[in-house]
Chains A and B, each alone.
Chain A
Amino acid sequence: MSTLTEAPPPLAPAAPEKKPPRKRGRFTPYWLLLPGILWLVVFFALPMIYQASTSVQTGSLEEGYKVTWHFATYWDALSEYWPQFLRSVAYAASATVLCLLLGYPLAYLIAFRAGRWRNLIMILVIAPFFTSFLIRTLAWKTILADGGPVVGALNTLHVLDVTSWLGWTAGDRVLATPLAVVCGLTYNFLPFMILPLYTSLERIDGRLHEAAGDLYAKPVTTFRKVTFPLSMPGVVSGTLLTFIPATGDYVNASLLGSADTGMIGNVIQSQFLRVLDYPTAAALSFILMAAILAMVTVYIRKSGTEDLV
C-alpha cells in the first residue's frame, strides 16, 4: 500500500509489548514444519547434493564415476551449449510477456466485470489442466498444421511473410519453428499467470476506484496509478511462475520445434538419457538453476515487491 500514500514519518520504535507467558505449544511451529522440511530434504536437498556431486565427477559407465572435482565440466558445458541457454531464456521471456498481455485483461475481467460468470470463467481457465500436458501440446500440432485453417489465414493475411522475415517462422508454415514453440509455452503456462493476477486484482478494494474517480482521475489514470501498482505482487509472482518452468521446459521444443529450436531442457535430457554424460547433464542443470536464480533476484529487486518474498 506504500505506493498509494506517502509513507508516514518514521515513528520512534514502539515500546516492547508485554509478552504473555507461553508455556504450551513452544514446539508446535516445528512440528508443523516437519512434514515440509522432510519433503524438502528428501526431494530437494538430497537430489541437489547428489547432482552437485555428479557434476564434478569423471568416468564412464564401465569404470564407474568418481568425484575428481573436475570443475572444467561447467566451463565446457557452458561454452558448448550457450546458444541453447540464450534460446531458452529468449523463448521463456517471450512466452512470459505474451502470457502477461493475454492474461492481464482476462484476470481483470474475471475480477471486476465477470459478475455471475466469474466461476464459470475460472473453471474454463483451469479446465485444460484436466488433460495431460503432453496431449495439450500435441493438440497444437493439429491447430497449427500446415494445411490447417490457422496457417491458411495467416498466409492470406501475409502475416507469415513478416514473421518469416523476422526469423520466427520458416516459409509458409508455423509448426517446427520458434513461433510454434513460443505459442506452446504461452498456452501451457497461461493459467500460472492468470491465477496469481486474479488473486491480487480481486483483493483490490472497489472503493479505491471510486475514490480515484472522485479525484477526477480518468479510467486510464486510475488503472495506471491505482489498479496496476496494487496488482504488482500478482504480476511478479505470475511472471515468475511462468518464466521459471518455461525456461527449463523441453516438451514444447521437442514436439513443436525443429532441430534449430532446441532448448536447454532438451540438451539436459539427451545428455542424461542418450549420451549418458551424467556430469555434463548435472553441470548444465546447475548452471540453469544459477542463471534463473540470478535473473529472478535482479527482477524482484527491481520490481520492489517486498511483500512477495
Chain B
Amino acid sequence: MEQYEPDRLSPAQVAAMRRSFTNGRAALTRRSLLRASAGGALAAGGLGALSGCGIPAAGKTEGGTSGEDHSAEEKEVNFSNWTEYMDVDESGKRRPTLEAFAKRTGIKVKYTEDINDNSEFFGKIQPQLAAGQDTGRDIIVLTDWLAARLIRLGWVQKLDPANLPHAFANLSQQFRSPDWDPGRAYSYPWQGISTVIAYNKKALDGIEVKSVSDLLDNPKLKGRVGFLTEMRDTIGMTLLDMGKDPGRFSDDDYDAAIARLQKGVDRGQIRRFTGNDYTSDITKGDFAACLAWAGDVVQLKADNPDVDFVIPDSGYITSSDNMLVPNKARHKKNAERLIDYYYEPRPAAELAAYINFVCPVDGVKDELAKIDEEAADNPLIIPDKAMQAQSHAFRSLSSKEETAYEEKFAKLTGA
C-alpha cells in the first residue's frame, strides 16, 4: 500500500491518502508493530532500569529544564513531525516552506518524520525525558492530551513570547486557551483536527444520519457503524450527543457515555473501533457511517464522491497537534523562530493548501484563496464563525483520571 498512488489525484491528495492508509494517529503501522512486538520490551520499558530498580520518577520541574541554548553558534533545528504532515513540491523531495525558512534565516531544518502514533512516540521518548536527557529533538508535534501530559510531567520548556510575535498575534481564538496550557505558554498548534461523522451515501441508501444517536440507535445500521480508538474523540462525541459538555464532565458522565457505547457493542450495533484504517472501511462501504477526522474526509471525498460528512447539531470535537520544545533541547531559540514562521499567513496558507487540516492561524483565508480557492472556502480547513461556535475541546485529565478512563475505554474496545 506504500505504492498506492492513483494518478488522477493531485500530489497533495495522494500524500494525504497515503498518510491515511499507512500512517497517522493511532494507525497500526509496520513500524509501530515492530517496535511494539520485537523491540517492545526494550523500547517501551526504559533502558535505564534493567537491574530491576524501577522506573525513575518524572523529574518534575516547573517550567521545564532548559539545556544550554546553542542556537546562536549552531544554525540548525531538529524538527520531529508526523508522516505526511508537511508540504512537499511536485518532485516529492523538497519542502518549500521549510526551504524558504532556511533561506531567510540561515537556519537549517533537520526534518524527521518519526511520529506515527502518540502512545508509541511517548514510549520512545519517555526513558530519555524521565532521565533528564536531551532527546536530540528541538520541536516535537503531539496531540493535545499527550502535550498536556508532557507539560504536567514538566518535560517541555516554556516558550519565550519575545520570539513568537506572529504566533501570539495570529493564533485563532478557538485554540488560544486550552485548559491544559492557558495562554499557550508551552505549546503552539501545528494543525487542528476536527472529529465529525463521515458516511457513505451508497451504503446508507437513504437512511439519515445526523448524530451519534443515529449511529448508536438506528437498527438499520446494525453492524455497519464505526467509532475511533482515540478515547477523547469517541467519548467526546458521545458526551456531546448526550447533552454533556466534554469540557467539563464528571466521572459519572464518563461512565454513562461508556455504558451507552457498551450497549452499542453488546447489541452488535458497533462493528469495530478503528484508528486511521477507518478510511478503507468507509470508502468500501463496510462502514455506512463512522466517526472520522475531517482532514481525512476532505481527501476521501476527492477520491470517492459517495463519502461525505455531517456535523451533528450537538457539536463536534476539536483537538490539535501541538509543537513543543522538549527539555534539554539544544536549539530552543531556533525552534521558536520556526514556530513563529508558521504563524505568518503566507507559509501557513501554503501548508494548509497542502495538508487540508484545520489551519490554526488567523488571516490566512486571503493567502489561501490565491493558492486554492476551494480550500479557502472549505469550513473544514478555515472554520467559519458558525463552525467555530460548534467546536468543543475535551477537557484535560489528571494522571489518575487518565489511567482510569483509558482502562475503561480499553475494556470497551475489547482490549
Contacts and interface: CB of A to CB of B under 8 A. Distances in A.
Interface string A119-155: 0000000000000111100100110011100000000
A271 B410 contact: yes
Given A134-B33, A258-B272, A277 B45 contact: no
B50 interface: yes
A50 B41 contact: yes
Interface string A52-69: 111001011111111100
Given A50-B50, A133-B30, A138 B45 contact: no
B52 interface: yes
A38 B170 CA distance: 56
Interface string A13-43: 0000000000000000000000000000001
A175 B287 CA distance: 11
A27 to B, nearest CB: 29
Contacts of B52: 49-50, 52-53, 67
Contact of B58 (A50, A57, A61, A254): A61
Given A61-B399, A135-B1, A171-B223, A274 B119 contact: yes
B54 A259 contact: no
B41 A51 contact: yes
B415 A269 contact: yes
A163 B56 CA distance: 51
B406 interface: yes
Nearest to B36: A269
Interface stretch (B94-102, B189-197, B277-285): B277-285
A147 B285 contact: yes
Interface string B44-85: 110001111111111010000000000000000000000000
A176 B30 contact: no
A132 B30 contact: yes
Contacts of A213: none
B415 A57 contact: no
B42 to A, nearest CB: 6
Interface string A255-284: 101111110001101111111111000000
A47 interface: yes
A251 interface: yes
Given A134-B30, A257-B272, A46 B403 contact: no
Contacts of B36: 269, 272-273
A62 B285 CA distance: 44
A99 B286 CA distance: 28
Given A49-B50, A135-B1, A171-B223, A257 B414 contact: yes
Interface residues of A, number: 58
Q: How large is the interface on B (under 10, 10 to 19, 20 to 34, 35 or more residues)?
A: 35 or more
Contacts of B410: 267, 270-271, 274-275
B120 interface: yes
A63 B399 CA distance: 11
Contacts of B123: 272-273
A223 B23 CA distance: 49
Contacts of A173: 223, 286
A106 interface: no
A59 B280 contact: no
A146 B285 contact: yes
A259 B412 contact: yes
A232 B186 CA distance: 64
B160 interface: no
Contacts of A273: 36, 44, 119-120, 122-123
Interface stretch (B173-181, B263-271, B294-302, B340-348): B263-271
A170 interface: yes
Given A66-B54, A175-B286, A273-B36, A266 B415 contact: yes
A50 B415 contact: no
Contact of B280 (A53, A60, A141, A262): A141
B44 A272 contact: yes
Given A50-B49, A258-B414, A272-B123, A64 B277 contact: no
A173 B273 CA distance: 17
B304 to A, nearest CB: 14
B60 to A, nearest CB: 7
A52 B406 CA distance: 24
Nearest to A271: B410
B153 interface: yes
Contacts of B268: 170-171
Interface in B124-182: 152-153
A258 B286 CA distance: 13
Contact of B41 (A47, A59, A271): A47
Contacts of A170: 223, 268
Contacts of B406: 270, 274-276
Interface string B403-415: 1001100101111
A248 to B, nearest CB: 8
Interface string B372-415: 00000000000000000000000000011011001100101111
Interface in A158-179: 170-171, 173, 175-176
Contacts of B50: 46, 49-50
A47 to B, nearest CB: 4
A52 B403 CA distance: 22
Contacts of A135: 1
B204 interface: no
Nearest to B261: A259
A251 B60 contact: no
Interface in B215-235: 222-224, 231
5 contacts: A50-B50, A61-B58, A64-B57, A171-B222, A270-B413
Interface of B: 1, 28-30, 33, 36, 40-42, 44-45, 49-58, 60, 119-120, 122-123, 152-153, 222-224, 231, 265, 268, 270-273, 277, 280-281, 284-286, 399-400, 402-403, 406-407, 410, 412-415
Which 8 residue pairs spanning A and B have beta carbons closest together? A64-B57, A262-B414, A53-B52, A47-B41, A266-B415, A259-B414, A273-B119, A65-B55
Interface of A: 43, 46-54, 57, 59-67, 84, 132-135, 138, 141-142, 145-147, 170-171, 173, 175-176, 250-251, 254-255, 257-262, 266-267, 269-278
